[in-house]
Structure 1
Amino acid sequence: MDFQPTEDQRDLRAGVRGLLEGRYGREALRAAVDAAAGTGTGTGAAVDRGLWRELGEAGFFALRLPESEGGVGLGLPEAVLVFEEAGRALVPGPLVATHLAAGVVPGAAAGTAVVTAFDLAGDLAGDLVAYLGEADAVLGAAVLPVGEPVRAADPLTPLHRVARPGGAEASASASRSASVSAYVSEGALLTAALQVGSALRTVELAVRYAGEREQFGQPIGAFQAVKHTCAQMLVRAEVARTAVYAAAVTGDPGEAAAAKLLADGAAVRNARDCLQVHGGMGFTWEADVHLHLKRAWVRAEQWRTAAEAEELLAAELLDSAG
């Protein structure tokens, strides 16, 4: 049996990559980062509404809506390919929530509305919501809540803290569970696809720098330690990508949780290894590596954390053993 992407799926991926390279290439990414830094608040940049509408026109958000409802009529396997490309390009914004809201929130499918979600783990003071200040709606919520801006690790992911009605003693996930419970599995899988795209991109960045940077008269990529690091990065990313593709085909919540667990690890560890390959250059603001690491940290806390994924997988193992 051939599990390779079909020609149509490869064309879809190539089309999305071409769109993002032309519309949100490195110059646009760096301009957004500089704009976020220029605010002096550290709370991130606004969603590019023009890009959002272009993604909507390209079918990014309506990809899985039936054609009878104005969508593209494709499935999860195609969606993860598209989100992998968005992760590779570090496209900011609540991509997953808006995609999941297509057909539910007016304007989400067309990209004329920005939809976020209670997809982040909360803290003792309340729930954290990404892009709340730029959102038109919150997935599963009747009204748009008011939140307090908080400093975020990723300059392109502004965060707000929304007070939890139940008080600080309530469960960290209590106020968000009702609104996102129906979307958690798909949200986790699509976020895993974003992480895979980032993990693969950091492999590319590491290999390219290893071929350009010279020490002792030869590229550092010729040294065994660097070769091994880059090889481990590739294996890590490809294992995670395989898990994401498999979960997209089966639609199984347990496999989606496992894919998220692997993809989070691949994105974070690959970004760290990429930093090591770059050496001191990797820690500068001019390099893109730190942006992948910071975004990977945020995504690892979205939809399903490592602890939540491990609990689900453990429960499935116990049920099968019983």
Structure 2
Amino acid sequence: MRFRLTDDQRALRGGVRELLDRCFGRDALRAAVDAPGRLDRALWRTLGAAGFFALRLPEADGGVGLGLPEAVLAFEEAGRALLPGPLVATHLAAGAVPGAAAGETVVAAADGALAEWLDAADVVLGDASGALPLRSVDPLTPLHRVPGTGGGAPGTAAALLTAAEQLGTAGRVCELAVQHARTREQFGRPVGAFQAVQHLCADLLVRAETARAAVYAAAVTADPADIAAARLLADEAAVRGARDCLQVHGGMGFTWEADVHLHLKRAWVRAQRTGGSTQSEELLAAALAP
């Protein structure tokens, strides 16, 4: 079976990237980092007006009427741009929570031990009673620790959309590593001329493209085992990819002016979302067991 994007899907992906470049470019990203914990409501409403949250809502209910593959493409672009906020929870709540589809209502979910953006949310799905604020490694993702199960196991759609965001980071850090390797010089040569750097960039690309194939396939099949495998591959591609990208940047990658460390921190936080790797490993193991 071959999974190729249609012309409409390519146009959707390009449109979402253009929207995010315009509404949440690098200046906006840096402004958000300087104001941690504050959700930009105007940006949220802009996303709602563009149909980001209502993408899978039927047209009869005021939505766009597309499917899970198209949502994956949109969330991949959100991950690439490091778009902050409880995107997955609000998207999944469209049609069920008034105002979520239009971006007028911010929805967070307490679906695991860690919950994101509770203080900024208008509606919290799940039991967040007794939640305690935590210091987050990612300045753009405020966290709370939720006692107990935090409302039960999340759905597979949440895991797949998280994998799509991780895929966006994996692709972006690959781009950043290659750009830096081409332009940064040492000893009169671009650092990309050195074999060790070439190997890092090649590994980045292989992990990102392997995860892309798995995530896109899972979006088509919607099979829980496929989604679990895609989530594991996407988490690895994002976390290891960001670490390797930072390695390509050298000491500069640790500085506040470089975006790669923001991608690494977000990848770490996402990897703990919706049950983390443990739930995906257990689901996949159960599916593979004779």
TM-score by length of 2: 0.97
1:203-242 residue pairs with structure 2 within 5 A? 203-242=174-213
Of residues 94, 98, 103 in structure 2, which corresponds to 1:106?
98
CA-CA distance at 1:258 after TM superposition = 0.7
Amino acid at match of 1:151: R
Asked whether the equivalents of residues 13 and 81 of structure 1 are also in contact (C-alpha less than 8 Å), the reply is yes
Amino acid at match of 1:289: V
1:2/1:247 CA distance change after superposition, 3 Å: closer
Tell me which residue corresponds to 1:306.
277
CA-CA distance at 1:46 after TM superposition = 1.2
Separation (CA, whole Å) in 1 of partners of 2:9 and 2:188: 43
CA-CA distance at 1:146 after TM superposition = 6.3
CA-CA distance at 1:303 after TM superposition = 1.1
CA-CA distance at 1:147 after TM superposition = 3.8
Asked whether the equivalents of residues 111 and 126 of structure 2 are also in contact (C-alpha less than 8 Å), the reply is no
Separation (CA, whole Å) in 2 of partners of 1:238 and 1:138: 35
Separation (CA, whole Å) in 1 of partners of 2:192 and 2:284: 38
Tell me which residue corresponds to 1:156.
140
Asked whether the equivalents of residues 3 and 217 of structure 2 are also in contact (C-alpha less than 8 Å), the reply is no
4+ runs deviating over 3 angstroms: 144-148
Tell me which residue corresponds to 2:13.
13
- CA RMSD, 1 decimal: 1.4
CA-CA distance at 1:2 after TM superposition = 4.7
Separation (CA, whole Å) in 1 of partners of 2:118 and 2:205: 35
Tell me which residue corresponds to 1:74.
66
Of residues 170, 173, 177 in structure 2, which corresponds to 1:202?
173
Deviation readout 1:166-187 (Å, 9 max, x if unpaired): xxxxxx52x420xxx4x52000
Asked whether the equivalents of residues 257 and 304 of structure 1 are also in contact (C-alpha less than 8 Å), the reply is no
Tell me which residue corresponds to 1:137.
123
Asked whether the equivalents of residues 56 and 64 of structure 2 are also in contact (C-alpha less than 8 Å), the reply is yes
Separation (CA, whole Å) in 2 of partners of 1:103 and 1:29: 29
Separation (CA, whole Å) in 2 of partners of 1:240 and 1:30: 28
SS of the residue aligned with 2:212? Answer: helix
Give the stretch that moved more between structures: 69-78 or 27-36.
27-36
Tell me which residue corresponds to 1:93.
85
SS of the residue aligned with 1:197? Answer: helix
Aligned length: 290
1:49/1:157 CA distance change after superposition, 3 Å: same
Deviation readout 1:276-304 (Å, 9 max, x if unpaired): 00000001111111100110011001113
Separation (CA, whole Å) in 2 of partners of 1:284 and 1:2: 42
SS of the residue aligned with 1:305? Answer: helix
The answer to whether 1:176 aligns with 2:176 is no
Tell me which residue corresponds to 2:44.
52
The gaps in structure 2 that reach 5 residues or longer are none
Amino acid at match of 1:134: A
SS of the residue aligned with 1:134? Answer: coil
The answer to whether 1:29 aligns with 2:21 is no
Separation (CA, whole Å) in 1 of partners of 2:278 and 2:130: 28
Of residues 252, 255, 273 in structure 1, which corresponds to 2:226?
255
CA-CA distance at 1:216 after TM superposition = 1.1
Deviation readout 1:76-130 (Å, 9 max, x if unpaired): 000000000000000000000000000111110000011011234x2xxxxx321
TM-score by length of 1: 0.87
Deviation readout 1:59-90 (Å, 9 max, x if unpaired): 00000010000000000000000000000000
SS of the residue aligned with 1:72? Answer: coil
Separation (CA, whole Å) in 1 of partners of 2:181 and 2:151: 44
Asked whether the equivalents of residues 240 and 263 of structure 1 are also in contact (C-alpha less than 8 Å), the reply is yes
Deviation readout 1:209-235 (Å, 9 max, x if unpaired): 111110111100111111111011011
Which is higher, the Rg of structure 1 or of structure 2?
1
What percentage of aligned pairs have identical amino acids?
A: 68
Separation (CA, whole Å) in 1 of partners of 2:199 and 2:7: 33
Deviation readout 1:244-281 (Å, 9 max, x if unpaired): 00000001011111111110010000000001000000
Amino acid at match of 1:55: L
Tell me which residue corresponds to 1:316.
287
Asked whether the equivalents of residues 184 and 304 of structure 1 are also in contact (C-alpha less than 8 Å), the reply is no
The gaps in structure 1 that reach 5 residues or longer are 37-44, 123-127, 165-171
